[in-house]
């Protein structure tokens, strides 16, 4: 009995496909690069968010819904998130996303207050 050997036609080289960076990864790298502007972000979080957006949100909650406790506590929790990470002196890789999440939560609370008043 004889054995026949055929040449292989399957290519044995494998190339790893290029991996693209997601938007979230690029944002985190950008936020990490903002470490030299940490005090600017601290001032924006405490001054802009704490002294402007949160009081405006609470004013709209009181004026439009007659002091809805759930919306009020949600607005205070959003402010507390931003305040805690800034007072803990965490890196901008953490403080900037938390600040943006807090702003989005306040905007959702404002939208909910406006929709409840209609």
On the question of pLDDT at 30 being above 70, the answer is yes
Collect all residues with Cβ–Cβ distance below 8 Å to 102 and sequence separation of at least 6: 49, 78, 79, 81, 82
Average pLDDT of the chain is 89
Here the tokens at position 97 are 């996303």
Q: How far apart are alpha carbons 92 and 99 in whole angstroms?
A: 10
For the chain, the domain total comes to 1
Statement: residue 1 has pLDDT above 70: no
Q: What is the pLDDT averaged over residues 101-110?
A: 96
Token duo for residue 115: 């929709």
Using alpha carbons, select from 55, 61, 103, 109 the residue that is nearest to residue 82.
103
Q: Report d(CA 114, CA 96) in Å as an integer.
A: 27
Domain extent at residue 76? 37-117
For the stretch 67-101, pLDDT in tens is: 999 999 999 999 999 999 999 989 999 999 999 99
Is position 3 within any domain? no
């Amino acid at each position: 009995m004889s054995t026949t050997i055929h040449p292989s036609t399957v290519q044995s080289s494998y190339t790893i496909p290029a991996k693209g960076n997601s938007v979230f990864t690029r944002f985190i790298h950008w936020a990490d690069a903002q470490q030299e502007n940490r005090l600017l972000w601290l001032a924006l979080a405490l001054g802009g968010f704490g002294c402007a957006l949160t009081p405006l949100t609470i004013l709209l909650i009181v004026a439009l819904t007659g002091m809805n406790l759930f919306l009020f506590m949600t607005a205070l929790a959003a402010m507390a998130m931003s305040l805690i990470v800034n007072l803990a002196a965490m890196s901008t890789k953490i403080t900037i996303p938390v600040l943006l999440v807090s702003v989005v939560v306040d905007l959702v609370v404002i939208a909910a207050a406006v929709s409840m008043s209609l």
